Structure 1
Amino acid sequence: MVETIDAGAHRYVGTAFTAVDSGAIRVHRERCAKVRNRNVDCLKCAAACTSGCISLEDGELVIDASKCVGCGTCATVCPTCALESLNPSDAELKAACLRAVRGDEVVIACSQMEAALGDLLVPGAAAFVVCAGRVDESLLAGLAAEGVGRVTVLCGDCDHCAQRHGRDTAELVAETARQVLATWGDDLEVVVTDVPPASILAEGADEAAAETVRVAYFAQVRSCPPLREAEGVRVGSSAGQDAPKHPAHSLHVMKDGTLPHFIPDRRERLLDALAQLGEPEGDKLETRLWGAVVIDGTKCVSCRMCATFCPTGAIAKFDDADGTLGVTHTPGDCVKCGSCRDVCPADAITLLDAVPASWLTGGNRHRYVMTPRPVSLTDNPHQILDTFRLDFNGDIFER
C-alpha cells in the first residue's frame, strides 16, 4: 500500500500511518506530534526510516507499507513513541540481552551479521535485532542498572545494506547513552562495530575466520536478510494487514481543553533506570531526549495552545481559584518534540537543548503565570474563534 500525502495534512498523515501497523510495528496515531497539529515540524521517522517505507519526497510524506521490514528504527527516533517496536518488544529484547550476558558484556547483533556469521556464533551468546537502529537509550540504561559494563552493538557492512541509515541511529543512541549515563556516574561502554568479538564465536573459530566469512557474505548480499518472525508474530510483506487488534484512541479534546497526554513507557523506564543508579553527578545534559521550555512573557498572548497540543503533558494548564491562570512545565516529561514551539502563534517559546540533570529525576516543575488576552466581542461574537483560525492557518473547527 503506497500513499502520498501533503506533509501538512495531519488528518491524512494519521490515516496513512495505520498502513504500517502490523505484528512488527504498532502505530499509536494519537501520540504523533504531526497528527495532533500539522504545524509541528517533526518528521524524524521519515528521516530515519531504513527501508524507504516512510519517506519525504518534494515536501510530501510517502508511505509504502510493503517496504516495511519491521526494523524499529523509526520507533527509536520517534520522541513520543507513536511508533512502537514489537518484534521483539522492548521487554523481550531486554530479557534476551540479559540471557546473553557473558561476564559483564552483552552483544546485540543485527540480522545481517547474524546471517553472515551463521554457525560461527555460539548459540545464545548474543541478542538479535533486525537492525542496529532498534537499540534505544532506555535499553542501554536498563542494562547499566543491571550491572552490565559493556554493550557491543554488532552492525553489518552498512555500505552494502539497504538499512544503512540504522547505523547512524545506532551511533546517535550510543553517544547519547554514554553522555546520560556518565552524568549519573556510570561508565557503561557502548561500542557500535562491524567486528564480532571473540566472546560470541564458536570454539575453534577465531576473529580472522569470522572476518573471512563476513567479507565473503557481504560481497554477495546487498541488503539485509528477510526479517525473522518472532514466535506468534507475523511480519514482512504483510505489514499493514492482519494487524493486531487493539483499542483505537480518540483525539477528542479533554475537559481542560487539551488533547490527550501520554508519557512514553520508554522515557519512564529510562528515568527509572537512572534513579536506580543514584543521584546525577554532572550538571547539564544536552541530548536529543529532553528539552527545557522557556516562555517569553513579553510575547505570550496567553492562548495556552502549547498545553493544548503537548503530547506528554509536560506543559499543562492551571486555573487557580483566585483567577490566576497559566501553564506549568515539567522538564522530566518533555520529549523535545518541538510541538509547543511550532504551534505558538507569537513565537514566544524557546526550547533549550541543555537541561540540568537534577530537573529530570527531581520532578522539577516551572510555573508560568499568564495574563488573560483581552478580546472585544462587541462587533463579532465569533471573534475568538476567528482569531485562532488566523493564528493557526484555519486549523480550528467548530463542533
Structure 2
Amino acid sequence: MTVYLCGDLGHRAGGLDLAALAGWLTERHPQTEVRVTPGPCDRPERWLDREGTRADRLLLGLCAADRDRAELHARARRLGFDPLAIEVVDLGATCALTPARAEATRKARALFAAALARSRAYRASGPENARPVFTWDQPVSRRSLFTLPPIRWEVVPSIRDEACAVGRGCRACATLCPHGALRAEGGRMVLSKTQCTGCGACVSTCPVAAIDLPGASLAQIEAQLDALLGSDAANGSRPGILFLCHRGAPALRRLPRPGAAHPIDWLPVELPCLAMVTPAWILQSLQLGAAAVGMLACRREECRFGQRETVEGRAGYCQATLAALDLSPDAVWVADVTDERGLAEALSRPVPSVPLPVGGGRAGVDLRVDHGATANALLGLARQHGRTPARALDHAQSPLGVVTLSPGCTVCGACASACPTAALALDQADAAVTLSFDGTRCTGCGGCVPVCPESVVHVDRHTDLAVLSRGQSVLRRDHVARCEKCGGAVATRALLDRFASILGRDPVMSTITRYCEACRGSLS
C-alpha cells in the first residue's frame, strides 16, 4: 500500500506536522510506503502515473477533496488500477485549519487509521458492481476532454445467491428500495442496474448480509468505525461520529475558514447515502465510546434514496431510545446542507455526550443484522449506565420486533423455516419439540406471519428491553407422537388434535395418529 501526502498541508493555515504523520504511519504500518509530494494536489490522478502497477491500494491525503472523483477513477481504470481501492482523505478542511498544529496532526492520524482499516477490508469488485453512465452533459477538464471517454462508472450492489434468504420468503431489500430496483424472480433476488441509484440502503437492511457494495461494504464501515473509536485513533479523547453522504460532503468542506476552524471533536464517515445508516450504526457508535453521532443530509432533490423521512425517523428512534434510558437525546442529530449556518452551529456547540461506559472491555464493531447489532448496542448501553426502561418503546422506525402466538399453534415449524435471522427456531429432542424466540435477532419483518397455516403468529414492531434481556425463550413446547411401526416421528400432539377437529370420527384418523407418513404409504 502506498500513501501520498500533499506537501502543501504542512504550511496551509495552522498546517500539519507531515514528518510526524509520515513517521507515525511508517511505525504503525511498516508495510506502507509514505510519500510526501509537492503540491498542489488539484490533480491527484497524476500521482497514479508514477505508480505503474506496484501498489494495489492507494491512500491520498489531499488539501481539498471537493473535486469530482470521476477523472481520478477514470484514469485509474485506464492504468489498470481498481478505482475503489483508492481511498481519498480530505485533510485540508478537516485538519489543516484546526488552530493547534498538534491537534490537527492527531486528527489526521485518526482519519488515516480509519482509511487504512477501511482499505484493508476492501475486497475487489466485479463487472456486476459497475454501471456505465454517459456524461456528455457534465463539465470536464480540458485535458480529460481529449483523453477520457464521456462515460463514468458508478458502483451498484451485487447479491450473493448462496447467502440470500429469498428462498425463505425474505423480501426486506425489495420492500425498502424506493426505486423498484430489486425483485424476486425465479427463486433469486435480481437487481436492475438501470433502476438502482447505488444508495446502499439494501446493504445495511439485508438480514443475512447477502448484499455487497464494494467501496462501502459492511466490513469496510465496521473497520472504519472500529479504528475511529479505538484508543489508537482517539488518543484518549472522545470523538463524535459524523455520518455524511458523498453529495453532502462538499458542504462540510466549505465550512472551515481561517479563524473559524472545523471542530476537532467530529470525525467524518462518508457514505454513498445516509440511507445506509441504521439505528444499529448510531447506537453501537455511542455504546462503543462515541460522545455523539451526527448525520449530515444532502438536499432532498439530490438524495439517492429519496426518502428523507426514513433517515430522520431512524435518528428520531435513537433519540427516543436514549430518552427512555435517561440519556441525552441531543447526542443524536440530523443537519441539512442547505442550512450551512445551522450546520456550523451544530458542529461548533459542545458535544452533548452520552456518559462514558462504566467498566467492561471494548468489543469490536459488528453491524450485521443477523448478529443482533441493534439489540446488542441497546443492551450494552443499558448495562453500562444501569438503566432499565419501564415500558416498551413504540416507534414507527423501530428496527426490532416481538413475536407472540395466539392459542392454536401446532408447532409445525413453518414460521421458523421462514425466519431469515433465526429469531424463531424449532428444536427437536427425543419426544419433545420446542419453538423458541430470540428478540435480539428479530427485525420485525413479518415474514413469519403469512406462512403460519393456523394464522396464530403476530409481530409487533417495538423495542422491549425485557424481551431482549431474556434472549432465547420458549414460545411453545409439545410432545411428538411416534410411529408404531418404525418409531419415527408422526406429528405433534397439537397437530394431531387439529386433524381430529377437522376429520372428526373419520376412520383415517386411526392411521394418521399411529403411523408416520412413510409407513402409511406401505400399508396395504
Taking the TM superposition and a 5 Å limit, the aligned residue runs for 1:1-399 are: 25=157, 27-29=159-161, 32-33=164-165, 35-37=166-168, 40=169, 43-49=171-177, 53-54=181-182, 63-83=191-211, 86-88=214-216, 89-95=220-226, 98=229, 105-116=240-251, 118-120=253-255, 122=262, 126-165=268-307, 167-189=308-330, 190-194=332-336, 195-196=339-340, 197-198=343-344, 263-264=370-371, 266-267=373-374, 270-271=377-378, 273-274=380-381, 275-287=383-395, 288-298=398-408, 300-321=409-430, 323-363=431-471, 365-370=473-478, 371-372=492-493, 373-374=495-496, 376=508
d(CA) in 2 for partners of 1:284 and 1:363? 16
Moved more, 135-144 or 276-285: 276-285
Change (3 A) 1:353 1:201: closer
What residue identity is the alignment partner of 1:304?
Answer: G
TM-score by length of 2: 0.48
Q: Output the CA distance in 1 between the equivalents of 2:310 and 2:213.
A: 15
Q: Secondary structure at the match of 2:248?
A: helix
SS in 2 for 1:126: strand
- For 2:242, give the aligned amino acid: V
Larger Rg: 2
1:249 aligns with none
Q: Distance between the aligned counterparts of 2:175 and 2:293, measured in 1?
A: 26
Report the TM-score, using the length of structure 1 for normalisation.
Answer: 0.61
Distance 1:114 1:295, change over 3 A: same
Shift of 1:366: 2.6
Corresponding residue SS for 1:350: strand
SS in 1 for 2:293: strand
For residue 301 of structure 2, give the secondary structure of its aligned residue in structure 1.
helix
8 Å CA contact retained: 2:248, 2:296: yes
| Post-superposition CA distance 1:307-365 (Å, at most 9, x none) | 222222222223344x2323122222222121221211121111133453122133251
Residue ranges of structure 1 left out of the alignment (5+ in a row): 1-17, 203-261, 386-399
Which fold has the larger relative contact order, with Cα–Cα distance below 8 Å and residues 6 or more apart in sequence?
A: 1
- 3-state SS, counterpart of residue 303 of structure 1: coil
Verify the 8 A CA contact 1:111 1:130 in the aligned structure 2. Answer: yes
Q: Residues 282 and 108 from structure 1, CA distance in 2 versus in 1: closer, same or farther, beyond 3 angstroms?
A: same
Kept after mapping to 1: 8 A contact 2:405/2:475:
no
CA distance change for structure 1 residues 96 and 153 in 2, over 3 Å: closer, same or farther? farther
CA, structure 1 residues 143+326, in 2 after alignment: closer, same or farther (shift >3 Å)?
closer
| 1:136-174 residue CA offsets vs partner (Å, 9 max, x unmatched) | 112211221244343221111112444323x23311221
Give the partner amino acid of 1:295. Answer: L
Tell me if the contact between 1:314 and 1:334 (Cα under 8 Å) persists in the aligned partners. yes
Structure 1, 73-82 or 189-198: larger mean CA deviation: 73-82
Structure 1 pair 269/84, CA: closer, same or farther in 2 (3 Å)? farther
Check conservation: 1:97, 1:108, Cα contact below 8 A: no
Give structure 2 stretches of 5+ with no counterpart. 1-125, 131-154, 257-261, 349-368, 479-491, 500-507, 519-524
Q: State the 1:76 CA deviation.
A: 3.3
What percentage of aligned pairs have identical amino acids? 23
Aligned to 2:434, the other structure's residue is in SS state strand
Q: Give the secondary-structure state (helix, strand or coil) at the position aligned to 1:193.
A: strand
The answer to whether the Cα contact below 8 Å between 1:292 and 1:353 also exists between their aligned partners in 2 is yes
Q: Distance in 2 between matches of 1:64 and 1:75?
A: 15
The CA deviation string for residues 195-215 of structure 1, in whole angstroms up to 9 with x for no partner, is: 34327999xxxxxxxxxxxxx
Mapped partners of 1:200, 1:302: distance in 2: 53
- Per the TM alignment, residue 367 of structure 1 is displaced from its structure 2 partner at its CA by 3.5
Whole-Å separation in 2 of the counterparts to 1:53 and 1:184: 38
Which residue number in structure 2 is paired with residue 236 of structure 1? Answer: none
* Deviation for aligned residue 1:87: 3.0
Q: CA RMSD in A?
A: 4.2
